[in-house]
Amino acid sequence: MCADQIERLPTGITGFDHIANGGLPKGRTTLVSGTAGSAKTVFAAQFLAAGIKRGEPGVFVTFEETPEALRRNMLGFGWDIARWEAEGKWVFVDVSPQPEEELVELGSYDLGALLARIEHAVRSIGAVRLSMDSLGAIFTRLNDSRVVRNELFRIVSTLRRLGVTAVLTAERTQEYGEIARYGVEEFVSDDVVILRNLLEDEKRRRTVEILKFRGTSHQKGSFPFTVIPGEGIHVIPLSAIELKQRSSSVR
C-alpha cells in the first residue's frame, strides 16, 4: 500500500498502523495535538511500550507529569514502566517543574541544555523511539511567543540527527479551528496527528486523524477510537463499505 520512499515504524497501536499505511514515518517527529484528556499521553506512552515489545528502547521526555505519576498512571494499561527502566529499555528525561523551585526568571529556560540531556538519554540506551509530552509546558516558559517556531525547529532537527522516531504532543483548547496553541506548530512538523474528544448530544466520542504525512500517503479523515483498560488506544478502522455508508447518510 505504501509505494513511496518513506519507511514506517509500526506503532503497535491497534488499528492506527492500518490508517497510517504501516506506522509513523521512520526517523521523523510526529506532532500529536489534542485538547486536555484527549489521550495524548496515552498515545505517547503506548508508542514507546509497543516499541519495547519489539526490542526497541525508548526515551520519554516529560514536562508535565512526573515520572512517578506516569509509572502509576500507565500501570492500568499493563505497562510496567518501572521494570522497563530497570531493564534499560525505558529512560525518563524529567523536565517536570520542581515544586520547590521558584520561577526564577521567565525566558531563562535553557533549550540547549535540554537537548543535550535528551541526546545523552538516547545514547545511553540506544533508543529507537522517543516521546516528548508536551510542548505546551515548554513554550509557556519561553518569554517570547515569536520564538516558538524556531525553538520547535531546533527540537525537531536534533531528534532527526539522533535518528529516533519521535512523538511530540501539543495542546489545543478547542476541538476545531487552530491545530495547536501557537498556530505554527503544524507547519514546522513533518507529520501531524489529531486526537479529538468530541462532545455530541452530551456524550463524548474520541477520534483520531492523520492530518498530514509529508511525502507519503495515509488514510484520510477521522476514525473513532476508545481507551481500553489493559490495552490503551484502540482505533477502529472502518472498512470501505462502512465509509461509503457513513458518507451517504443524511446529515
Ligand X SMILES: Nc1ncnc2c1ncn2[C@@H]1O[C@H](COP(=O)(O)OP(=O)(O)OP(=O)(O)O)[C@@H](O)[C@H]1O
CA Rg value for the chain: 18
Residue 89 burial (CB < 10 Å; 0-12/13-18/19+)? Answer: buried
Q: How far is the CB of 126 from ligand X (least distance, A)?
A: 27
Name residues contacting a second copy, limited to 42-71 (CB under 8 A).
Answer: 64-65, 69
37 touching ligand X, by CB under 6 A = yes
* Minimum distance from residue 218 beta carbon to ligand X (Å): 6
What's the CA gap between 171 and 135, in Å, rounded?
7
CB of 126 to a second copy, least distance (A): 21
List CB contacts of 21: < 8 A, sequence separation 6 or more. Answer: 1, 2, 8, 216, 217, 218, 219
Q: Does residue number 153 form part of the binding site for ligand X (CB under 6 A)?
A: no
Please give the Cα distance from 68 to 72 (Å, whole number): 6
| Sole binder of a second copy in the list 14, 30, 165, 216 (CB under 8 A) | 216
Calculate the CA dihedral of residues 176, 182, 187, 191 and round it to 10 degrees. -60
The stretch near Mg ion (CB under 5 A) out of 15-23, 36-44, 84-92, 97-105 is 36-44
Nearer to ligand X, 120 or 214 (CB): 214
Give the nearer residue to a second copy in terms of CB position, either 2 or 125. 2
CB crowding 100-138: b at 16 or more within 10 Å, else e:
eeeeeeeeebebeebbebbbebbeebebbbbbbbbbbbb
Q: Does 76 bind ligand X (CB under 6 A)?
A: yes
CB of 37 to ligand X, least distance (A): 4
Q: Least distance to a second copy from the beta carbon of 30, Å? A: 12
Contact 69, 227 (CB under 8 A): no
* Residue 41 engages Mg ion in binding (rule: CB under 5 A): yes
Considering the complex, state which of residue 50 and residue 193 has its C-beta at the smaller distance from a second copy: 193
Size of the site for a second copy (CB under 8 A): 81
- Restricted to residues 14-33, the positions that interact with a second copy (CB under 8 A) are none
Residue 36 has which C-alpha cell? 486536555
Rounded Cα gap, residues 72 and 79, in angstroms: 9
Stretch that binds ligand X, among 34-42, 54-62, 90-98, 236-244 (CB under 6 A): 34-42
* Using rule CB under 8 A, residue 83 touches a second copy: no
Binding mask 88-127 for a second copy (x = CB under 8 A): ---------xxx--xx--x-----x---------------
Distance CA 205, CA 118 (A): 35
Cα distance between residue 195 and residue 163, in whole Å:
25
| Residues binding ligand X (CB under 6 A) | 4, 34, 36-42, 76-77, 187, 212-218, 227, 229
